[in-house]
Structure 1
Amino acid sequence: MSLPAAVSLEQLRKQAKDLRKARSLKLSEAQLEIARRYGFPSWPRLRSYVDRVATAGPSLQHAFSDDPAYYAERAEGLLASASDGTPDAVAAFTRWSAPLTPAGARQVVARNHGFTSWASLRRHVADLRAEPFARAFRALRARDLDGLRALLDRFPELATASGTNGNDLLGLASATCDERLVSVLLEAGADVARANAHGWTALHQAGYSNLPHMARLLLAHGAPVDVSGRGNGGTPLAAALFWGNTEVAAVLAEHGVVPRNLRTAAGLNDVALVEELWSSPSAGAHRGFYRPHSGFPAWRPSSSLTEIRDEAMSWAARADAVDAIAALYRLGASLEANVYQGTPLTWAAARGRSRAVRLLLSLGAAPSATGTFGGPTHGVGTTALHHAAESGHLEVIEALLDAGADPTISDELYGGTPANWAAHGGHEDARALLLRRGGTERD
């Protein structure tokens, strides 16, 4: 049977009456059997679902997590995107005449799911076992290919249905990093160009997670490379280069360098383009995107040419783009600027980019400089050594120590030394190296 979204309550009542007559059942028995055919445990649960779908229309978003905290986090993220000016997120608040406040965001999320209040949504998500979209989500989470195919065969509308904040099953599948699930959904007719409320597509997720094979699969099905998520210029390529994900960035760049600005050129290690854009008005074009999710603090990129150039140095460093680093330094970019959440050396160290770390140090980057990195509950008063230790990048740790980095500095948020950070990250080899080289630990 097709997804109940395609069936009216009147049709369901007729099916129950016909079944009652055909098999001499009580009406309640016939209704229960109809409900179970659709995968619902009772007639009232099926009726409630169909009523909600009919009231909300095709824009209905289906809940799929049974954790109420999930929806609170989605409300916070939606508010952050709307505050950043992301069009679809702004439109969601406008649609429901909701203020750009935490309470307004919860109102929007509840209304998008077909409920008039946050309390009603919380009651609903307490038991999602029967909901077709939630069942498909559980199949994704379990990597259950056969179960997913069976649900899509039974409820074909699932391939194009929307979940919380506009996340469809294809986008949720891409977040699992499992190409097999993505393939099943593409075969079922999922829209490869579909974006969620943040403007984020499955191809963005492939860039964010450094999945070159998934990117090729999505591109082969027509995934667009020029759509922006989380701000102007937040293309899949920008999402990849924010993290210095060079493997998937190379795949995406084959389909166009979008956006074509200085930080993208630097991340791609394209020296010719860096030199071309250095003094060009296009150097800072399409820089509205600055964070892949709201875990990073709010910021507004400026039109300052100095900021644009220094940011490019950071993007080159995180991508191990040593040719671009050298070119940017020669042209005048700073080694120490913290344009947004991390100096070039900190980014290179955090990403384990040993070549970039050595080059930056040789050019004069301060090995023990402190600063901020990541979100507000992460790196405050940290050094590059803290972040190399956190991820267990032994070669980078050695390079920093050889350049004179101080392994005894405590960060300002947790009071931890690099050795503490290595231990917290579960990297005993990095902790031991730091202690051998003069590091200390705080209680």
Structure 2
Amino acid sequence: MTELSAGLPPRADIAQVRRIAKDRLRAARAGDADAIAWISEVDAGLTLSASQLRLARHYGFAGWPALTLEVARRRVLDLRDADTLAAFIAAHPEAVTSEMTSWTDHQRGASPLGYVAMARYDTVAREWHDVAGTAAAAHVLIAHGAPVDGLPDDPETPLITAASYGDADVAAVLIASGADLDALAKPHAGGVPGGSALLHAAVFGMTDVLDVLVAAGAGCARSRRPPRSVTCPAG
């Protein structure tokens, strides 16, 4: 019987989660006591729909449709194809703003816009690399209602995320869309708690983003001094 992680694996696809549900059902029908007990928690018999429901609830979703929608959304975001993303959003408008949850590599959750801003870091290979299409994906999300500064309770804004992960293209899209240049991360945020996008870019050495932020005037509107490396534009 397939062992289950606490959250969805980073590269999960719908075929994979369907196989897991079928494998657990097969084990239960073969008399595996643990599999029987696992599926029986939903009290719906030893059926595929029961196994799928139980799997969805294991990962924190109300049901199988919600689980498969979340898996599909991440796959579409990972494609970073503007037309494919726009078509997906047209069919599932809630996918623009609802938080991405239950992923083993994003245990604190992430907004779709914030997730796109993190794309330069491969959480499976644990490697940094440049990726194409992030700016286009960010533009589509914002055009369809993604809040450019995130939600009030988010630990940091998408611009801070882009600064931390070094995506200057996403940062430029966010700035052009009216992002708050000097918003601060929450005290409980990762990275630099209480820090601005400018400070995150400086601390993590993301010089391309630093250049974009400085050119836009980040750090110059506040009474406190900007980082020493920043020279505010005249006027």
Q: TM-score range by the shorter chain?
A: 0.5 to 0.7
The alignment status of 1:315 with 2:115, answered yes or no, reads: yes
The alignment yields a C-alpha RMSD, in angstroms, of 4.2
Q: Deviations over 1:266-301 (max 9, x none)?
A: 34313233222324358449944267476x4xx8x9
1:271 aligns with 2:82: yes
Deviation at 1:404, TM superposition (A): 0.4
Q: Is the 8 A contact 1:232 1:286 kept in 2?
A: no
Query: Mapping of 1:40-439 within 5 angstroms?
Result: 194-196=3-5, 198-199=6-7, 204=9, 207=10, 225-226=16-17, 231-232=59-60, 259-261=71-73, 264-281=75-92, 283-284=94-95, 287-289=100-102, 292=105, 296=108, 311-319=111-119, 321-338=134-151, 340-372=154-186, 375-376=188-189, 379-406=192-219, 419=227, 434-435=228-229, 437=231
Q: CA–CA distance in 1 between the matches of 2:143 and 2:7?
A: 37
1:407, distance to aligned residue in structure 2 (A): 6.5
User: Gaps spanning 5+ residues in structure 2: where?
Assistant: 21-54, 62-67, 120-132
**Structure 1 residue 259 displacement after superposition:** 0.5
- Greater fraction of residues in helix: 1
The residue number in structure 2 matching 1:143 is none
CA distance in structure 2 between the aligned counterparts of 1:364 and 1:282, rounded to whole angstroms: 22
In the alignment, residue 435 of structure 1 is paired with which amino acid? S
2:194 partner SS: strand
281 and 401 in structure 1: CA distance in 2 versus 1, 3 angstrom threshold: closer
CA deviations on 1:341-394 (whole Å, 9 max, x unpaired) are 322211111100011111211222121122338x55754332111211221011
Q: 1:268 to 1:407 in 2, by over 3 A?
A: farther
Q: Which runs of 5+ in 1 are unaligned?
A: 1-190, 208-214, 234-255, 302-310, 412-416, 420-433, 439-443
Q: Deviation of residue 401 (structure 1)? A: 0.8
Summarize the Cα distance change of 1:312–1:378 in structure 2 as closer, same or farther, 3 Å threshold: closer
Greater relative CO (CA pairs within 8 A, separation 6+)? 2
**Distance 1:291-1:340 versus aligned 2 partners, 3 A rule:** farther
Distance 1:260 1:340, change over 3 A: farther
Query: Deviation at 1:225?
Result: 4.3
Shift of 1:314: 2.1
Looking at structure 2, the residues matched to 312 and 199 of structure 1 have their Cα atoms a distance apart, in angstroms, of 18
Distance of 1:342 and 1:268 partners within structure 2: 24
How far 1:396 moved relative to its partner?
A: 0.8
Tell me the distance in 2 between the aligned counterparts of 1:409 and 1:273: 40
Partner of 2:52: none
Q: TM-score, normalised by structure 1?
A: 0.32
